[in-house]
Amino acid sequence: MSQTSTEREEVTIRFAGDSGDGMQLTGSLFTNTTALEGNDLRTLPEFPAEIRAPAGTVPGVSSFQLHFGSKEILTPGDKCDVLVVMNVAALIANLSLLNKGGTIIANTSGFDSRNLNLANYEGDVSPLEDDTLSQYNVLEIDVTKLTKESLSESDLGYKDKERCKNMFVLGLLYWMYSRPLDSTISFLEKKFKDKPDIAEANVKVLKEGYHYGETTEVFSSRYSVKEASLEPGTYRNITGTDATVLGLVSAAHQSKLPLFFGSYPITPASDILHGLSKQKHFGVYTFQAEDEIAAVSSAIGAAFGGSLGVTSSSGPGIALKGEAIGLAVMLELPLVVLNIQRAGPSTGMPTKTEQADLMQAMYGRNGESPAAIVAPRSPADCYNMVFEACRIALEHMIPVMFLSDGYLANGSEPWKFPQTQDLKEIEIKFEPARTNGDGEKFLPYVRDDRFVRSWSIPGTKGLEHRVGGLEKEDLTGDVSYDPDNHEKMVMQREAKRDKIADFIPPQEVDNGVENGETVVLGWGSTYGSIRTAVHELRTEGMDVSHIHLQYISPFPRNLEELLKGYDNVLVPEINNGQLVRLIRDKFQMKAIGINKIKGRPFGVEELKQEIKAAIPSKSNA
């Protein structure tokens, strides 16, 4: 018997099951295979808020969404075409994310009465038995049973056998989307090389799933998704967190400085600490401090000694660092502060994403305390922007805030990774020693033409000097209460921050025209949704362009001029309006915010609606 094979331009699959069902692994294996097939893709895992919520319950559901295609893919997809649910809780938690008419692959043994209770499902019969799912195309498969059967020969224990069931689903989907099994097989063999029987079992079940697709009638058709036209080159898949780790190691490498990373764990930033603690052979120092204040303080201490001092946290922890960041502003030492934003205020929703710490980054310190701010726009871009954060901090002797978020940190995409020869040099020079000959006093606060002072590290003869948080006298760096000196220093610290604009790329229009009716101005993790939305609106014939900021403080020199080229400036943000305030204040132009504060990224569709809705109201203003 034969099944037709349909071609698809893009597909979104969501794997959902109990935390114990291995959906994250299933998802990432499918991702790797798909990447190797040359598709463009974006992924987003969703973990339960609890460490390990009771099995079978809704809060215990863990899911992984993969969006791949032969076209440019920039978001994990608003909704999915295929939803894999290993139990009823997974269905309850995820049904709203399935497109009408979409396919559900349900593991029937996850829908027995025990599971219905655990998930405290309202209906008295399983949703598979009533018409709850009538608008969907449901495939019921007793994955658990089939898995066990296929392993009847194996002498593995019950639990071990049961654990293979995700491979069955994976195999099935590989068949559905015409993907090869080899990369997964070699992964399994590597992973379980000390447990050959387990490896064997997993591989067997994987193949079983694949054959199940081939041999059963359940599937009307299978699909193929062609290679995407990605820029030629060598690619890997990477998450925002890994990209950040690599970017930091690269910056240390390019500046030839030791990397000191002082941090205190917090979701969703902790994984950067974990990642760096594995890079000791790059001479990376990681310090898990007693709190965020000690973390940033230790980084300042390291920077005073000549290292690349970096600290990381998320909203509440960043709030605690404010005072010490102010010290770094006054000391004019390099400092990189990573804020992997999460939903606030206060503890908020730690596992949900948000962009609401921009104003804190800008103003969350006492006094006039200018720092630089950069923001990555995609998982892979975390690499570029954290590298830039380090470069700016080191070359301009200033604290730099790097504003990523949970959505970027956990998401992944294919990355045409660079090699060392492709990387920028980071120019740093320690002030040389002075021979006791010339008795004249060393002046630590003399500035160069970028208003940057020298980096004069301990251990350098003749440079003995004292710095501190009290206002400094121009040039000497001595304590000064002189009124004019204070104003001068405040202005110089600001001028130094603003001068950075001469050392960053000018702002480009990401998509669209330079002078047009409407521009959508974004920053950070909204890039994918905005780019996709604007692209589609343009193909619908709308005069709308997209500008996306990666450098927020200072703004690129040409930004004002660019923005003034449009009648409408729309600013979508995952907050209640923050960049939009900076734009209004700085350029005194009318800018309209489009805001979503749900701990979730913009969906492409909703964003398109919002953009359309926002424009007329503006034009007739």
The 331-370 site mask, x for binding ligand TPP (CB under 6 A), equals ----------------x-----------------------
Distance CA 93, CA 527 (A): 27
Distance CA 67, CA 492 (A): 48
Q: How many residues does the chain have?
A: 621
Handedness of CA 290, 293, 296, 300 (dihedral sign): negative
Letter string b/e over residues 59-91, b meaning 16 or more CB atoms within 10 A of that residue's CB: ebbbbbbbbbbbbebbbbbbbbbbbbbbbbbbb
User: Which of a copy of itself, other proteins, ligand TPP, none has residue 285 at its interface (CB below 5 to 8 Å by kind)?
Assistant: other proteins
Residues 393-412 that bind ligand SF4 (CB under 6 A): none
Smallest distance, ligand SF4 to C-beta of residue 52, A? 6
Q: Which is nearer to other proteins, 195 or 416 (CB)?
A: 416
Determine the straight-line distance between the first and last CA of the chain, rounded to whole angstroms: 64
Residues 52-71 that bind ligand SF4 (CB under 6 A): 52
Interaction of residue 409 with ligand TPP, rule CB under 6 A: no
User: Which of a copy of itself, ligand SF4, other proteins, none has residue 609 at its interface (CB below 5 to 8 Å by kind)?
Assistant: none
Query: What secondary structure letter does DSSP report for 216?
Result: S
Interaction of residue 317 with ligand TPP, rule CB under 6 A: yes
Smallest distance, a copy of itself to C-beta of residue 606, A? 12
Nearest to 477 by CA among 306, 330, 326: 330
Q: Which is nearer to a copy of itself, 362 or 500 (CB)?
A: 362
Nearest to 8 by CA among 135, 105, 102, 141: 102
Interaction of residue 265 with ligand TPP, rule CB under 6 A: yes
Helix axes 143-150, 165-176, angle to 10 degrees: 100
Q: Return the residue of 142, 156, 223, 418 that touches other proteins, per CB under 8 A.
A: 418
- Other beta carbons within 10 Å of 427: 10
- For residue 112, the Cα-to-chain-centroid distance in whole angstroms is 38
Which distant-in-sequence residues (6+ apart) come within 8 Å of 15 by Cβ? 23, 26, 27, 30, 63, 64, 65, 66, 84, 169
Interaction of residue 329 with a copy of itself, rule CB under 8 A: yes
Q: Return the residue of 83, 599, 610, 614 that touches a copy of itself, per CB under 8 A.
A: 599
Q: What is the dihedral of CA 278, 281, 283, 285, to 10 degrees?
A: 30
Please work out the total of residues on this chain that contact other proteins, with binding judged by CB under 8 A: 104
Q: Which is nearer to ligand SF4, 51 or 621 (CB)?
A: 51
Residues 26-55 that bind ligand SF4 (CB under 6 A): 51-52
Interaction of residue 584 with a copy of itself, rule CB under 8 A: yes
Interaction of residue 316 with ligand TPP, rule CB under 6 A: yes
Q: Which is nearer to a copy of itself, 319 or 509 (CB)?
A: 319
Only segment of 193-201, 293-301, 502-510, 566-574 that touches other proteins (CB under 8 A) = 293-301
Letter string b/e over residues 138-171, b meaning 16 or more CB atoms within 10 A of that residue's CB: bbbbbbbebbbebbeebebeeebbbbbbbbbbbb
Only segment of 83-91, 366-374, 455-463, 546-554 that touches other proteins (CB under 8 A) = 455-463
Residues 472-511 that bind other proteins (CB under 8 A): 478-479
Q: Contact 302/309 with Cβ under 8 angstroms?
A: yes
Which distant-in-sequence residues (6+ apart) come within 8 Å of 77 by Cβ? 10, 12, 42, 65, 67
Residue nearest to ligand TPP (CB): 266
Smallest distance, ligand SF4 to C-beta of residue 48, A? 12
Do the strands 259-263 and 137-141 form a parallel or antiparallel pair, or are they unpaired? Answer: unpaired
Nearest to 471 by CA among 480, 462, 463: 480
- Beta partners for residue 222, in sequence order: 5
Smallest distance, ligand TPP to C-beta of residue 269, A? 9
Smallest distance, ligand TPP to C-beta of residue 467, A? 16
Q: Return the residue of 82, 90, 151, 257 that touches other proteins, per CB under 8 A.
A: 257
Letter string b/e over residues 546-566, b meaning 16 or more CB atoms within 10 A of that residue's CB: bbbbbbbbbbbeebeebbeeb
Give the HSE-up count for residue 41: Cα atoms under 13 Å, Cβ half-sphere. Answer: 32
Smallest distance, ligand SF4 to C-beta of residue 50, A? 7
Q: Which is nearer to ligand TPP, 486 or 499 (CB)?
A: 486
Distance CA 212, CA 202 (A): 15
Smallest distance, ligand TPP to C-beta of residue 321, A? 10
Interaction of residue 262 with other proteins, rule CB under 8 A: yes
Residue nearest to ligand SF4 (CB): 51
Q: Return the residue of 266, 500, 562, 563 that touches ligand TPP, per CB under 6 A.
A: 266
- Binding region for ligand TPP (CB under 6 A): 264-266, 292, 316-317, 320, 347
- Binding region for a copy of itself (CB under 8 A): 49, 293, 314-316, 318-320, 322-323, 326-327, 329-330, 343-349, 351-352, 354, 356-357, 359-360, 362-369, 468-471, 481, 483-484, 486-487, 490-491, 493-494, 575-576, 581, 584-585, 588-590, 596-600
- Binding region for ligand SF4 (CB under 6 A): 51-52
